[in-house]
Structure 1
Amino acid sequence: MKSIITNADSFFLKSQKWHHEFVALRNILLPFQLQETIKWGWPCYMLHEKNVVLMHGFKHYCALLFFKGALLNNADGLLIQQTPNVQASRQIRFTNLSEIIQLKKQITKHIKEAIEVEQAGLTLAPKPTNAFAIPVEFDELLKQNNALQKAFHALTPGRQRAYLLYFAQAKQSATRLKRIQKYLPYILAGKGLHDVTP
């Protein structure tokens, strides 16, 4: 059984894959006097209880995730939008320690700007729900069922978007329908995708 790491020092002592890269990134971040904690199992750097940067690792790369990266100047092209549906956050990805060493100046610049964005209280307006495609299967059900349509539109925009994205992620129509059927009772009850654990 994997132990849950709640302390940043423990994370850096126990990290195996990307260990040297994580330590190098931490050394870049620490001088900024951000609050260092663990969130979602990864080192997170905060300013006045607001998330600024998250360090995380994947199979082929490790990354710094800037929570408001879309608001940062990306003239150097380092900030990557993970998927088309990700709105605010952006990553800088690394595949080895030498990349971090070579990009230290740019990384530092992005961290500084991310802090300035947070200090200024800037936010990115979320895309309106109607900017997200409604899967055909769900659209048909909404047209056929007034109670469902009313319940869905009564949900907060964030809850609506979460359902639309989750339903649309399924590649096959049968899978989309299965997901939709599973969550119909929760939509009708006014609950969001992340409010329930069915």
Structure 2
Amino acid sequence: MNPEVDAYLVEGCGRCPLGGTPDCKVHCWTEELKLLRSIMLEAGLTEEVKWSVPNYTYKKRNVAMVAAFKEYCSLSFFKGALLKDELGILEKPGENTQAGRVVKFTDTARILELKDALRALVFDAIAVQESGKKVQFKKIEEYEVPEEFQQRLAADPDLKMAFEALTPGRQKGYLLYFAGAKQSKTREARIDKYIPKILQGLGFHDR
């Protein structure tokens, strides 16, 4: 048991002003988090804190982490897409997530009900790490390029060169954001706003 996780359960993650106060979301799910923690430790995983939340590793490789949110707490698996989910309890944390999968909880009863299934997922996740299996991520060429952005790239060689010089991750971020707008007018506005950053070689979240 890592004392840093003990501190997390008492003080919260510290990522917002509510950390260390009774209103911290960690305190909404203390018993649930403790139960999930015990399942991780019983599996022999190494406990530490990464990204301000309890993280569990096998031979220094990330396997799973637990976290508290406003409406639920969760157990998430870094390579969840490769796990055998016989009960169908794993969810994508986001529409475009490729590797990670989560199980969400709002009470201890559900955790106890699924305890054997969660253990099976944990041991499967360890086996995946042992095997060296990797999630096959989509290549940047497989992502949709909105027509509005295609037109801008075709009309502006400098923009095309700058966009192609970005890392695949930065390209993906822009394409997902541009394509996420339902209306053409909104897509065009997003493209106009971020063209200066693309020309500077910056990603969507870069400053």
User: TM-score, normalising length from structure 2?
Assistant: 0.82
Residue number among 123, 127, 130 corresponding to 2:134 in the alignment: 123
Shift of 1:146: 1.2
- The match for 2:7 is 10
Native 8 Å contact 2:63 2:79 kept in 1: yes
Shift of 1:122: 1.2
Shift of 1:92: 1.2
Native 8 Å contact 2:43 2:119 kept in 1: no
Structure 1 residues 29-62: Cα deviation after superposition (integer angstroms, max 9, x where no partner)? 1123322222233211122332211112223322
**Aligned pair 1:51/2:62, yes or no?**
yes
**Aligned pair 1:96/2:107, yes or no?**
yes
- The match for 1:21 is 32
Q: Which runs of 5+ in 2 are unaligned?
A: 12-25
Native 8 Å contact 2:47 2:57 kept in 1: yes
Task: Provide the rounded CA distance (Å) in 1 between the counterparts of 2:181 and 2:163.
Answer: 20
**Aligned pair 1:84/2:95, yes or no?**
yes
Task: Provide the rounded CA distance (Å) in 1 between the counterparts of 2:193 and 2:7.
Answer: 40
User: TM-score, normalising length from structure 1?
Assistant: 0.85
Change in CA separation of 1:182 and 1:37 when aligned onto 2, cut-off 3 Å: farther
Which secondary structure state, in structure 2, belongs to the residue aligned with residue 16 of structure 1? Answer: helix
Which stretches of structure 1, 4 residues or longer, exceed 6 Å deviation after superposition?
none
What amino acid is the match of 1:9? D
Q: Tell me how large the CA RMSD over aligned residues is.
A: 2.1
- The match for 2:85 is 74
Task: Provide the rounded CA distance (Å) in 1 between the counterparts of 2:187 and 2:7.
Answer: 41
- The match for 1:169 is 180
Shift of 1:136: 3.3
* Farther off after superposition, 174-183 or 20-29: 174-183
Q: How does 1:138-177 map to 2 (within 5 A)?
A: 138-171=149-182, 173-177=184-188
- The match for 2:197 is 186
Q: Which runs of 5+ in 1 are unaligned?
A: 1-5
Change in CA separation of 1:173 and 1:38 when aligned onto 2, cut-off 3 Å: farther
What amino acid is the match of 1:128? K
* Farther off after superposition, 22-31 or 151-160: 151-160
- The match for 2:125 is 114
Task: Provide the rounded CA distance (Å) in 2 between the counterparts of 1:39 and 1:180.
Answer: 34
Fraction of identical pairs, as percent: 41
Task: Provide the rounded CA distance (Å) in 2 between the counterparts of 1:167 and 1:54.
Answer: 31
Shift of 1:10: 0.6
Structure 1 residues 129-151: Cα deviation after superposition (integer angstroms, max 9, x where no partner)? 23222233322211211111122
